[in-house]
Amino acid sequence: MKPRNTKEESLKIPTDILLDVLMIIVKEQIRHEVTDVLESRGIVKVSVYLNNDLLKHQRVLQNIQNIIEEYNEYRYADNEELNWRD
């Protein structure tokens, strides 16, 4: 059961950046739990529990979401300069 004034946010984190994201979550002392591991897709689902009263938690969440978005843009880019798979 989650405490009052807390919102749960579910994140799908690629395993390539999992340690970086978890380091941020732990450093900022945000309550979290790993809810699922999708080995075949290289994704770990993590639920974070953010205090609605703390602006810092909202900023941390936004930073994590930006990291995930930037990674996905880099990983799946059509631009040959950015696409490391080729």
Domain total in the chain? 1
CATH code, domain carrying 44: 3.30.1370
The reported pLDDT for the residue numbered 64 is 96
* Rounded CA separation 38/24 (Å): 21
In a domain, 82, yes or no: no
In a domain, 86, yes or no: no
Which tokens go with 7? 């919102």
* Rounded CA separation 63/39 (Å): 25
For residue 42, what are the domain limits?
6-75
The reported pLDDT for the residue numbered 9 is 95
- Encode pLDDT of 11-68 as tens digits: 999 999 999 999 999 999 999 999 999 999 999 999 999 998 889 999 999 999 999 9
